[in-house]
Amino acid sequence: MKKQLILISDMEGASGIFDADIKLLRNGTEEWRKYGREKMTSDILAVCEAANEFGIDEILYYDAHYAGNPEHNVIVEKLPSNVKLFDTPDRCFFWRRIRGQAQINPFGLITVGQHARNGEGNAYFAHTIQSPPLKAFWINDIHIAEIGMAILSFQGVKYLANIGCAASEKEAKELSEKVVHISVKDKSKKWEPSIKETYPIIKQGVLESLKRADKAEGVKINTPYRFKLELCESYYFEQPELISWKGKFSEQEAVWEAPSVEIGLEIFNYVRERIKDVR
């Protein structure tokens, strides 16, 4: 069987993008098109070079930043020929569809360009999926953001490496103590290197994570799958008259259960539609 590597990226934790560079993250802007994509592409290419040097046959890649916008945050034409993109409408978070396109037992999974959860200190652009209005999100009492959504949707697949802001290590390590964390910037140490500096750091770190894949672990949680979403101040849930899933709402919290993580994350999208702003 071919060695398939799953690659899932965000952008706030990419190399060379710091607090003053918010426009580089905004999908569709001139700054994003000219500079932001180049920085994200550099990180992805570093991972791909390491993977191909190691002997990975296929890289299945989900570009998750600004999900819902059809334009990719990387320059697709620069990717190696063995990179295949997950097929999702407008790159949306359709995790059942995403998981169904990968092998049952891929070689492993790597997250790239990752940021910290809402409220984490010394972080670049910290947020939980969309903060505000989202304060915190939990699955079976595990506090997650985008990293956790990806990893728990691929339960049991070895979590090899996390690449991004130094502050993103906390969520990654809470999911798997054995994951290799590769920092590309660190606000606490005022370390803000260029993409030329981080490219070899990423490549070497990924190579090391692939070589020690036998020591990596897949994250596994038990049923029932319980979800909880908390809102920031000044936001509240509009109470529905009827819901078609097992769950309930209070003013600033929603909880529900689902037969799988992927279905629970689909319900999450419906729950978000009930959020209202006090203002």
| pLDDT the model gives residue 245 | 85
CA distance 27 to 76: 15
Burial of 258 (0-12, 13-18, 19+ CB in 10 A): buried
If you ran DSSP here, which 8-state letter would residue 22 be given? G
State the first-to-last Cα distance of the chain, in angstroms, to the nearest integer: 55
What count of residues does the chain have? 279
Which of 79, 81, 155, 106 lies closest to 3, judged by CA?
106
At 248-271, the pLDDT tens digits run 999 999 999 999 999 999 999 999
- Sketch out the chain's domains with CATH numbers: 4-126+145-215 (3.40.50.10780), 225-277 (no CATH)
In this prediction, residue 279 carries a pLDDT of 63
Evaluate if residue 131 carries a pLDDT over 70.
yes
pLDDT band at 243 (very low <50, low <70, confident <90, very high): confident
* Distance, C-alpha 53 to centroid of its chain: 24
Report the chain's C-alpha Rg in angstroms.
18
What is residue 13's DSSP assignment? T
Q: pLDDT of 149-192, one tens digit each?
A: 999 999 999 999 999 999 999 999 999 999 999 999 999 999 99
Judged against a pLDDT cut of 70, whether residue 45 lies above it is answered with yes
Q: Which two tokens stand for residue 42?
A: 């550099």
Average pLDDT over residues 11-21: 97
